[in-house]
Amino acid sequence: MFLNVVSNDEHDQLNEEFLAYTLWEPPTVLSIAKTATPDTYWNKVSSHESNGKPYFQTLCKLAKAMLILLHSNAAVERAFSNQNLIKTAQRSSLDSPMLNNLMHISMRKTTMKFQPTNKMRKKARHLIT
């Protein structure tokens, strides 16, 4: 799953960093871990240096990549449910762009203030007369 995050060459480095991390107990990072968000915590860990070089670089890269994973499929389920409400049997001929636009409007739950231009009004009058 994380093939592009950690290369084969970095596997040994990752293993070494993970083992060192499990034994590592810096007081400042541990105090931050109790109140910080995960991304702030891993940013602090990544700033730790050993011999003037960042030490947990590969481990932090993997941890940060894992933080972007969705923790549930609720958003996907919500989108499919919304699609089923929009594309009913009576509206089965909706094409993809129209369905996409309707879903976008429905998911955002915001309204726009539409003000037609004078050119649009003239064209509309011409169509109905």
Instruction: Select from 22, 29, 20, 62 the least CA-distant residue to 47.
Output: 29
Q: Give the pLDDT score at 45.
A: 85
pLDDT classification of 125: cutoffs 50, 70, 90: confident
Instruction: Extract the tokens encoding 67.
Output: 């933080």
Q: Report which of residues 110 and 98 the model is more confident about.
A: 98
Q: Is residue 30 part of a domain?
A: yes
Instruction: Select from 33, 67, 29, 63 the least CA-distant residue to 49.
Output: 29
**Total domain count, the chain:** 2
Q: Give the pLDDT score at 28.
A: 60
Looking at the structure, tell me whether residues 63 and 88 fall in a common domain: no
Contact of 60 with 6, CB cutoff 8 Å? no
Amino acid at 19: L
Q: What pTM does this model have?
A: 0.50
Looking at the structure, tell me whether residues 61 and 13 fall in a common domain: yes
Looking at the structure, tell me whether residues 37 and 15 fall in a common domain: yes
Q: Is residue 115 part of a domain?
A: yes
Query: Tell me: the pLDDT tens digits for 67-95?
Result: 887 777 888 888 889 899 999 888 888 88
Domain that holds residue 99: 74-128
Q: Is residue 1 part of a domain?
A: no
Looking at the structure, tell me whether residues 28 and 43 fall in a common domain: yes
Helix axes 96-108, 74-86, angle to 10 degrees: 120
The whole-angstrom distance between residue 45's C-alpha and the CA centroid of its chain comes to 22
Q: Tell me if residue 114 falls in helix, strand or coil.
A: coil
Q: Give the pLDDT score at 129.
A: 67
What mean pLDDT do residues 21-49 have? 77
Q: Give the pLDDT score at 24.
A: 80
Last residue of a domain, one of 20, 48, 67: 67
